[in-house]
Amino acid sequence: MQTQTYFDVVICGGGLAGLTLARQLRLELPDLSVAVIDRLTSPLPEAAFKVGESSIELGTYYFGQVLQLEKYFHTRHLPKLGLRFFMGQGQEPLTARPETGIELFPPVPSYQIDRGRLENDLRDMVKAMGVTLFEGSSVDDIELAEGDAAHVIRCRRKSDNEEFVVTGRWVTDALGRRRLLQTKLGLKRQHEHRASAAWWRYQGRIDIDTMGIQGGQAWRIGSVEDRYFSTNHLMGRGYWVWLIPLGSGATSIGIVTDDDIHPHNTYGKSYSQALEWLQANEPKMWEFIRNEPPMDFLSLKRYSYASAQVFSHQRWSCVGEAGFFLDPLYSTGSDFIAIANTLTVEMIRRDRTGTLTETAVNDYNRLVIENLYQICLGFYQGMYRTFGHAQIFTSKLTWDTAIYWAWTYQLYVQGLLTHPTPEVFSLGERFRLLNDRVQQLFADWSEKGSPRPMHVRGDLTRMHLMMLLHLDLASRRSPVQALQVARKNLDRIEEVALVLFWQAVSECYPDHPSLKSRPWVNAWRMQLDPEKWENSGTLEPETAPRPLESMRDNFTGIFAPQGLREWLIYEFPYRILHWGRGFLYYTLAIQIRKWIYVNKPAMWARRGLVRDYPAERKG
Interval 109-126: pLDDT, tens: 899 988 888 999 999 999
SS3 state at 177: helix
User: Residue 18: what pLDDT?
Assistant: 98
Least reliable range by pLDDT among 120-129, 408-417, 432-441, 601-610: 601-610
- Sequence letter at residue 107: P
Q: pLDDT tens across 284-332, in order?
A: 999 999 999 999 999 999 999 999 999 999 999 999 999 999 999 999 9
d(CA 74, CA 106): 14
Helices (H), 282-417: 283-289, 333-353, 358-365, 373-380, 390-403, 410-413
CB neighbourhood size of 612 (10 A): 14
User: Residue 619: what pLDDT?
Assistant: 55
d(CA 453, CA 390): 6
Mean pLDDT across 463-488: 96
pLDDT at 453 over 90: no
SS3 state at 200: strand
* Class of residue 3 by CB neighbours under 10 A (exposed 0-12, middle 13-18, buried 19+): exposed
Question: In Å, how far from its chain's centre is CA 378?
Answer: 12
d(CA 380, CA 375): 10
User: Residue 47: what pLDDT?
Assistant: 55
Question: 612-618: long-range contacts at Cβ-Cβ below 8 A with a sequence spacing of 24 or more?
Answer: 612/488, 612/491, 612/492, 613/491, 613/546, 613/547, 614/491, 615/490, 615/491, 615/494, 615/543, 615/544, 615/546, 616/543, 616/544, 617/542, 617/543, 617/544, 618/541, 618/542, 618/543, 618/544
d(CA 537, CA 10): 52
- Answer whether 457's CB lies under 8 Å from 223's CB: no
User: Residue 410: what pLDDT?
Assistant: 98
Q: Which CATH superfamily is domain 6-76+114-187+308-355 in?
A: FAD/NAD(P)-binding domain (3.50.50.60)
pLDDT band at residue 569 using 50, 70 and 90 as cut-offs: very high
Measured CA to CA in angstroms, residue 388 lies from 235, 334, 440, 453, 542 at distances of 6, 27, 16, 10, 34
- For strands 231-236 and 195-202, give the pairing: unpaired
pLDDT band at residue 527 using 50, 70 and 90 as cut-offs: very high
User: Residue 217: what pLDDT?
Assistant: 62
Residue range(s) in the chain whose domain bears CATH number 3.30.9? 83-111+194-300
Q: pLDDT tens across 139-190, in order?
A: 999 999 999 999 999 999 999 999 999 999 999 999 999 999 999 999 999 9
SS3 state at 353: helix
DSSP one-letter code for 561: -
Least reliable range by pLDDT among 195-209, 310-324, 383-397: 195-209
pLDDT averaged over every residue in the chain: 93
How much is the pTM? 0.96
Asked if omega into 561 is within 30° of 0 (cis), the reply is no
Residue range(s) in the chain whose domain bears CATH number 3.50.50.60? 6-76+114-187+308-355
pLDDT at 604 over 70: yes
SS3 state at 458: strand
CA angle 177, 183, 187 (to 5 degrees): 100
**Architecture of the domain defined by 83-111+194-300:** 2-Layer Sandwich (3.30)
- For strands 316-318 and 163-173, give the pairing: parallel
Q: pLDDT tens across 236-259, in order?
A: 999 999 999 888 888 999 999 999
pLDDT band at residue 50 using 50, 70 and 90 as cut-offs: low
Question: In Å, how far from its chain's centre is CA 277?
Answer: 27
Q: pLDDT tens across 417-442, in order?
A: 999 999 999 999 999 999 999 999 99
Backbone conformation region of residue 270, classed left if phi is above 0, alpha if psi is from -120 to 50, else beta? beta
Measured CA to CA in angstroms, residue 312 lies from 173, 329, 362 at distances of 12, 30, 8
User: Residue 52: what pLDDT?
Assistant: 52
User: Residue 62: what pLDDT?
Assistant: 97
Measured CA to CA in angstroms, residue 616 lies from 192, 561, 612 at distances of 36, 33, 12
Radius of gyration of the chain (CA): 24
SS3 state at 572: helix
